[in-house]
């Protein structure tokens, strides 16, 4: 009992220090342009904002897409069609300059710093191919991520995504706000799963399917999402889907051990420079 109380006190102390740090840093947050302020406001409201590479207008976007399609063409053809559960094929491309340059666009970093409320770290980029699936498993289950108290992950569609391609889907933060009854019901189910995720049938009694937000879109669709505070998942698909995933947290994050996958050897790495140069970029 004493050790449990000690852990609880440590958590409360850490949380207090976190909120004080955010309050202090609020005076140093970078100014935003009007359209970027709209993205921030949508993130604060829903935990998700959907836009496009064209609307963001970064000069680095064309090189990003060119590099992404080239790397997709180089990915190994997996002999996994016989498997009932086909795990995504992931390459770490953080060290390639085209991906890194887009990930540290100043306007993008400013939006994310304003949302997270602290100096931020850009951890890296995954090039990802998700395969056909007949049922929910892994990230197709509803879940939340655990790297930090606030996380921004950016998903960029590299092909047109319709229902058959398995669009990203989420529940707006307002429907599971902290200390609401829905919050306790959903996160109790997640806790019972060991935080491995819950399926559609477990979510429906709490949040009806009509309230879920699906995010189909053409190639070049960009989804900014707080994967800690917005319950989300990928959906069952009958066609493969290719994406880029980028990850940002406070610097340092609450769980740095969960962030190393964007530059270490968890997945095959494609790089032209050392990973140590590409990660932990802060503002």
DSSP category for residue 169 = E
For residues 210 and 256, membership in a common domain is answered with: yes
Give residue-wise pLDDT tens across range 100-158: 999 999 999 999 999 999 999 999 999 999 999 999 999 999 999 999 999 999 999 99
Locate 233 and state its tokens.
């998942």
For residues 255 and 124, membership in a common domain is answered with: yes
For residues 16 and 71, membership in a common domain is answered with: no
Within a 13 Å sphere around the CA of 177, how many CA atoms are in the beta-carbon half? 6
Specify if 196 maps to a domain: yes
Q: Report the share of the chain in percent with pLDDT over 70.
A: 93
The DSSP code sequence of 217-246 is: B-TTEEEEE-TTTS-EEE---SS-EEEEEE
For residues 26 and 67, membership in a common domain is answered with: no
Give φ, ψ of 122 to 5 degrees: -95, 120
Split into its structural domains, the chain has a count of: 2
Residue 126 belongs to domain with CATH number: 2.60.120.620
Helix-helix angle 106-116:34-46, to 10 degrees:
40
Exposure of 224 by Cβ count < 10 A (0-12 exposed, 13-18 middle, 19+ buried)? buried
Give residue-wise pLDDT tens across range 3-33: 666 676 767 788 899 999 999 999 999 999 9
For residues 19 and 55, membership in a common domain is answered with: no
For residues 6 and 86, membership in a common domain is answered with: no
The range of the structural domain enclosing residue 213 comes to 33-278
For residues 14 and 146, membership in a common domain is answered with: no
Exposure class string for 178-215: b at 16+ Cβ within 10 A, else e: eeeebbeebbebbeeeeeebbbbebbeebbeeeebbeb
For residues 54 and 151, membership in a common domain is answered with: yes
Residue 274 has pLDDT above 50, yes or no: no
Indicate the pLDDT class of residue 273, thresholds 50, 70 and 90.
very low
Give residue-wise pLDDT tens across range 39-72: 999 999 999 999 999 999 999 999 999 999 999 9
């Amino acid at each position: 009992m004493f050790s449990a109380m000690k852990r609880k006190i440590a958590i409360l102390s850490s949380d207090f220090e976190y909120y004080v740090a955010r309050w202090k840093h609020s005076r140093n947050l970078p100014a935003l342009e009007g359209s970027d302020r709209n993205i921030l406001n949508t993130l604060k409201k829903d935990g998700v904002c959907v836009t496009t590479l064209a609307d963001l207008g970064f000069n680095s976007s064309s090189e990003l897409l060119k590099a992404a399609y080239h790397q997709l063409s180089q990915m190994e053809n997996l002999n996994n069609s016989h498997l009932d559960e086909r795990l995504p094929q992931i390459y770490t491309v953080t060290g390639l300059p085209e991906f890194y340059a887009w990930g540290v666009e100043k306007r993008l970093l400013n939006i994310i710093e304003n949302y997270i409320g602290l100096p931020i770290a850009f951890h890296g980029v995954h090039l990802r191919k998700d395969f056909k699936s007949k049922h929910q498993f892994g990230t197709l289950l509803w879940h939340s991520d655990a790297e930090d108290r606030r996380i921004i992950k950016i998903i960029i569609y590299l092909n047109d995504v319709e229902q058959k391609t398995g669009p990203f889907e989420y529940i707006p933060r307002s429907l599971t706000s902290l200390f609401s009854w829905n919050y306790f019901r959903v996160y109790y189910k997640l806790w019972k799963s060991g935080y491995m995720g819950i399926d559609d049938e477990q979510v429906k009694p709490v949040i009806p399917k009509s309230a879920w937000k699906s995010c189909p879109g053409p190639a070049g669709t960009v989804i900014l999402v707080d994967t800690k505070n917005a319950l989300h998942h990928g959906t069952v698909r009958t066609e493969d889907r290719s994406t880029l995933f980028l990850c940002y947290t406070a610097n340092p994050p609450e769980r740095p051990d969960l962030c190393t996958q964007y530059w270490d050897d968890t997945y095959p790495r494609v790089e032209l420079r050392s990973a140590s140069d590409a990660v932990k970029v802060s503002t």
